[in-house]
């Protein structure tokens, strides 16, 4: 399944054309896919080894260089317009707020300013702004799919492209970390942006978050193709407004230090790892078992996951053709993911929808007409078209 589709590209280009009066052929488009993490999710902040891939849904940012210092942005999902200049010095708005701005700036343009902050902090010469329109994939709640990282990457790539900056993928991983850690005050790792920037279609991306070494593990041709189910909970809360996530990171780090000291290895840094042999050999049954075990570990060992998400995880495990399931994201909101036999994907999606509506009718209603279960395929890396 192709993404973005021709209709999606046409729509985002026409939106920018209406803003600027420029021909649609002049409009550049950043494609920044959402990501999933089958194994090793959210041990990136401990320097762990993680695996991830993108899906064929995500963020589109149509833009043209502004020709001056002005940034002017609109959103297909949110009202209003965001305007600022690239010669304005950006300051953190999160935990280390120094400029008097509210701690929680929920306006959708915050990540654009964060991208400029990251480039300014890294001494990149940004002299020209952009005029653009940003849009997320229709019909889904992107909570738990690293939509924030995808938005940050999209703004970085657009500003770099407009200013003809040569920036490596490794640098952009760090710049997106600066948006989240430095600008917003969120203590997450580098899993999300790494998956979005490094992934390749048909591969599972493996990354050591301590050394930043990575490799793409190509899966063999499968006799039975798979699909990715995204099942949405209706539970939403931004991580930057929930102190529980940062607290959990600190608790995990402290626990690891205690265990290392007790083992006599206090000088070592705590890291975690996961094996990927099942994927490389095309053993989806075994790969699915590992995904489900990772999901159970998130619940029982990491002690995360709100009750609606835990119920959704258990429902997915019973759905026809599902190889394995787990939370997507930190487990405090958003969705669960599952790998499923392509032939039974529709049946599984219907089963999950019906069972979740019985288990959590109030949260199911909060999906506001969005698709409660989405059938996706693997995607590719972020890029400028």
**Averaged confidence pLDDT in the chain:** 86
Q: What are phi and psi of 183, to 5 degrees?
A: -85, -40
User: CA-CA-CA-CA torsion for 242, 145, 290, 212, nearest 10 degrees?
Assistant: -90
- The pLDDT score that the predictor gives to residue 96 is 42
Structure tokens belonging to residue 36: 């999933």
- The pLDDT score that the predictor gives to residue 141 is 63
Whether 227 and 348 have beta carbons less than 8 Å apart is answered as no
Residue of 129 and 281 predicted with greater confidence: 129
Average pLDDT over residues 241-264: 69
Of the chain, the percentage scoring pLDDT greater than 70 comes to 84
User: What are the sequence ranges of the domains in the chain?
Assistant: 6-217, 220-376
Of the chain, the percentage scoring pLDDT greater than 90 comes to 58
Please, which pLDDT band fits residue 235 given cuts at 50, 70 and 90? confident
Per-residue pLDDT tens for 260-279?
788 777 666 544 445 588 89
Q: Residue 106 pLDDT more than 50?
A: no
Please, which pLDDT band fits residue 242 given cuts at 50, 70 and 90? low
Strands (E), 296-380: 322-328, 335-341, 373-376
Structure tokens belonging to residue 347: 């049946």
Q: What is the pTM of this model?
A: 0.86
Q: To 5 degrees, how large is the angle CA 142–CA 144–CA 149? A: 80
| Listed residue (27, 20, 23, 49) closest to 37, CA to CA | 49
Q: Is the peptide bond before 218 cis (omega within 30 degrees of 0)?
A: no
- DSSP-derived letter for residue 65 is E
Strands (E), 105-202: 130-136
Q: Which of 12-21, 275-284, 291-300 is most confident?
A: 12-21
- The pLDDT score that the predictor gives to residue 244 is 57
Integer Cα distance of 331 and 291 in angstroms: 14
Per-residue pLDDT tens for 307-325?
899 999 999 999 999 999 9
Structure tokens belonging to residue 70: 């002005």
Active-site annotation holder among 44, 141, 176, 192:
192
Please, which pLDDT band fits residue 222 given cuts at 50, 70 and 90? confident
Q: Residue 210 pLDDT more than 80?
A: no
Q: Which of 89-93, 127-131, 191-195 is most confident?
A: 127-131
- The pLDDT score that the predictor gives to residue 43 is 63
Strand partners, 91: none
CATH fold for the domain made of 6-217: Ribosomal Protein S5; domain 2 (3.30.230)
Integer Cα distance of 239 and 242 in angstroms: 5
Distance, CA of 259 to chain centre: 31
Whether 37 and 294 have beta carbons less than 8 Å apart is answered as no
Integer Cα distance of 384 and 106 in angstroms: 27
Residue of 33 and 332 predicted with greater confidence: 33
Structure tokens belonging to residue 155: 């703004």
Integer Cα distance of 190 and 179 in angstroms: 11
Strands (E), 66-123: 70-75, 81-85
Determine if residue 231 is left, alpha or beta; phi over 0 gives left, psi from -120 to 50 gives alpha, anything else beta.
beta
Integer Cα distance of 118 and 152 in angstroms: 10
- What three-state secondary structure class fits 150? helix
- The pLDDT score that the predictor gives to residue 105 is 41
Map tokens 């989240």 to a residue: 180
Q: Residue 45 pLDDT more than 50?
A: yes
Residue 44 appears among annotated catalytic residues: no
CATH fold for the domain made of 220-376: Alpha-Beta Plaits (3.30.70)
């Amino acid at each position: 399944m192709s993404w973005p589709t021709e209709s999606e590209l046409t729509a985002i280009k026409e939106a920018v054309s209406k803003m600027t009066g420029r021909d649609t052929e002049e409009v550049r488009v950043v494609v920044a896919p959402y990501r999933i993490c089958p194994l090793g999710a959210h041990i990136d902040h401990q320097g762990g080894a993680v695996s991830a891939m993108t899906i064929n849904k995500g963020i589109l940012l149509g833009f043209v260089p502004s020709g001056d210092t002005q940034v002017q942005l609109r959103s297909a999902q949110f009202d209003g317009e965001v305007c600022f200049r690239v010669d304005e010095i950006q300051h953190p708005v999160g935990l280390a707020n120094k400029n008097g701005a509210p701690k929680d700036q929920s306006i959708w343009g915050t990540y654009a300013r964060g991208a400029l902050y990251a480039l300014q902090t890294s001494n990149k010469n940004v002299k020209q702004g952009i005029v653009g329109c940003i849009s997320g994939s229709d019909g889904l709640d992107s909570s738990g799919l690293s939509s924030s990282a995808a938005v940050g990457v999209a703004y970085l790539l657009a500003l770099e492209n407009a200013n003809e900056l040569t920036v490596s993928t490794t640098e952009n991983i760090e710049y997106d970390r600066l948006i989240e850690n430095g600008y917003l005050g969120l203590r997450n790792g580098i899993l999300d942006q790494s998956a979005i920037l490094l992934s390749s279609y048909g591969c599972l991306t493996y990354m050591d978050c301590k050394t930043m070494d990575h490799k793409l593990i190509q899966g063999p041709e499968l006799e039975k193709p798979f699909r990715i189910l995204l099942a949405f909970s209706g539970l939403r809360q931004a991580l930057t407004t929930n102190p529980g996530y940062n607290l959990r990171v600190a608790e995990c780090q402290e626990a690891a230090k205690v265990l290392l000291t007790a083992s006599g290895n206090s000088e070592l840094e705590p890291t975690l790892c996961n094996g990927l042999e099942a994927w490389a050999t095309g053993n989806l049954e075994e790969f699915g078992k590992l995904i489900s075990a990772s999901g159970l570990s998130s619940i029982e060992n990491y002690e995360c996951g709100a009750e609606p998400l835990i119920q959704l995880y258990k429902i997915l495990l019973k759905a026809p053709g599902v190889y394995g399931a787990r939370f997507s994201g930190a487990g405090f909101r958003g969705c669960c993911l599952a790998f499923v036999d392509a032939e039974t994907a529709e049946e599984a999606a219907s089963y999950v929808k019906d069972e979740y509506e019985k288990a959590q009718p109030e949260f199911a209603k909060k999906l506001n007409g969005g698709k409660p279960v989405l059938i996706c395929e693997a995607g590719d890396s972020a890029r400028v078209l």
